[in-house]
Structure 1
Amino acid sequence: MKIIFPKFDNIGMPLLGMAAAALFVLEAKRQLRRRTRPKMERLLENGSVAAAALPALRLLLVPGMYAAAQRAQAYNFGLLRWLGLPKWVRYAAGFLLLDYTNYLWHVLLHKSDLLWRFHNVHHSDLDLDLSTAWRFHIGENIASVPYRATAIALIGVPAPLVLFYEVIFEGAAAFHHSNLRLPYRAERQLCKFIVTPRMHGIHHSIVARETNSNFSVIFSCWDRLHRSLRLNVPQDEITIGVPAYRDPQEQSPKRLFMLPFERQRPWQLPDGTVPDREERQPRQVLLP
């Protein structure tokens, strides 16, 4: 079946590029967390990982998802079509359900030993900023194709919505991975609805229960629904990364590419201690 992409894809990609450029400048001017490594070294490392992974995203994942939506439409397949909903309801519900399935996929990346091997490449970054948003192993992008394509077909997502959601999805990922310090009061309100840099920074902590929280991508309601939301960690107390992978010498593109195929280390620091901190209550109040 021939896949014809709507013009929105040609508009959405330049919009993402402009958003990324704006975030790159803003996070340099309004830094949220102190860097632990030279910026240029990380840009080269993360850029090298992205150079392999992004083609898989653009040439395999996005076409695969769009083809799944077209095929489901051709056979009148999918929940939203079977319910006979009005067009605007199908689009609104489709957007929400796509975001929910990506929440579940993110949880699966952490719970599956096999998938974590690949997702570990993303989390082992020793700092967190815009470049981390593209630091995904090519194997993770490839593994997501059958999951996301199947979800799209089962939901019955309209094909144009697939591309619209993907642009918002990638823009949201760039935003919440950025090292951008937003006004605290504004972000405290904003994270009630969408994922923000402070909220996602907690997800990249070396403390296990903090890493295993805040899985949402666009809307934060999924973490509230599943009680996986954690906001009560100050940013200046967070150490970014994975405790067993603290050596900057292991951040080379070659080592990162091979990481999923090596024996995974236990969740502990090189000296054998397990990172932890005293639990604060309430969990759902964002701290500066």
Structure 2
Amino acid sequence: MKVRFPYFDTIGMPLLGLAATVLFVAEAKRQLRKRTRSKTERLKENASVAALALPALRLLLLPCLYAAARQAEKSKFGVLYWAALPVWIRYPAGFLLLDYTNYLWHVLLHKSDLLWRFHNVHHIDLDLDLSTAWRFHVGENIASAPYRSAVVALLGAPAPLVLFYELMFEGCTAFHHSNLRLPYKVEQRLSRVMVTPRMHGIHHSIVAKETNSNYSVIFSWWDRLHNSLLLHVAQDEITIGVPSFRDPKEQTPLNLFMIPFKHQRAWQLPDGTVPEREEKFPRTRLAP
């Protein structure tokens, strides 16, 4: 299995690093949501999770996706080959389909009790910023490999497209997890096409119906298509995290690794109440 991707590693990764640096500085200067915890403490915690997750992403998931694409190419297998589309249509169509199937995977992460055990580690962060974009349990990245590889094979997505999509996937994930306050009108227009920080901030709310919305990764169209779009919640009204994990002392590296293997808690605050919010505005109206 091929594990070295020169263009991805020598061009793509430095560009991602540059984008992350710009976002890191920008979110510090233009903060969208007030922090509840020390940034330094969270950086250490999230880095400890990423230390296992990122190698799995690069050394397992990416090679699996590429191998699936190459095998489909050799056998002329997959929807995009069967449709006999010209290259100038096959690549954009493949990009959209890859993004749509990742929307479905994200929904599955929330709906499956088993997968949620791992995805929950991402959500129990008590603040949301750039570092949260890489706070994924290594088990979640491993679990995604069979699903995403099968999707690549069934679509017949070209291998170069798969690598390009992964770069865009990671870049957009960093962007919409950031705590960057964009001008409201700019983000209002942008959210019609792609996932933005305000849009994804709602997805990390402790209110269940808000967490179970805004699943899209790059394009926001999939949430509109499936009526899972929710934009009306103001950022200063959002409490980030999961209601049953409010104690910062539980955010230790060892505990974060072990959470999927422990008894799963009900979606409620420590006092037993379930967070709710009355809908005051249309769901698809972006709140400040």
TM-score by shorter chain over 0.5: yes
5+ long unaligned stretches in structure 1: none
Give CA-to-partner distance per residue, 1:7-65, whole Å, 9 cap, x none: 24421111000000000000000000000000000000000000010000000000100
User: Any conservation in 1 of the 2:128–2:178 contact (CA below 8 Å)?
Assistant: yes
Aligned to 2:103: 103
Q: Equivalent residues in 2 for 1:126-275 (5 A)? A: 126-275=126-275
Which shows bigger deviation, 85-94 or 6-15?
Answer: 6-15
* Match in the other structure for 1:114: 114
- Match of residue 31 from structure 2: 31
Contact 2:12 2:167 in 1 (8 A): yes
8 Å contact kept, 2:2–2:63? no
Q: TM-score w.r.t. structure 1 length?
A: 0.99
Contact 1:6 1:160 survives alignment (8 Å): no
Distance 1:218 1:284, change over 3 A: same
Which residue of 2 is the match for residue 90 of structure 1?
Answer: 90
CA deviation map 1:201-240 (0-9, x unaligned) = 0000000000000000000000000000000000000000
The corresponding residue for 1:56 is 56
Shift of the alpha carbon at 1:279? 1.2
Distance in 2 between residues matched to 1:262 and 1:190, nearest whole Å: 40
Aligned-residue offset at 1:280 = 2.4
In the TM superposition, residue 3 of structure 1 has moved relative to its aligned partner by: 6.1
User: What is the identity, as a one-letter code, of the residue corresponding to 1:82?
Assistant: W
How far is 1:88 from its partner?
1.1
CA distance in 2, matches of 1:247, 1:2: 43
Counterpart amino acid of 2:121?
V
Distance (Å, rounded) in 1 between the aligned partners of 2:7 and 2:115: 34
Q: Distance in 1 between matches of 2:240 and 2:207?
A: 9
Alignment of 1:5-44 (within 5 A): 5=5, 7-44=7-44
Deviation at 1:6, TM superposition (A): 5.4
Letter in 2 for 1:28: A
TM-score, reference length from structure 2: 0.99
Deviation digits for residues 151-175 of structure 1 (CA, Å, limit 9, x no counterpart) = 0000010000000000000000000
Q: CA RMSD in A?
A: 0.9
Letter in 2 for 1:129: D
Q: Give the % identical residues.
A: 74
Partner amino acid for 1:138? V
SS of the equivalent of 2:243 reads coil
Q: Is 1:282 aligned to 2:282, yes or no?
A: yes
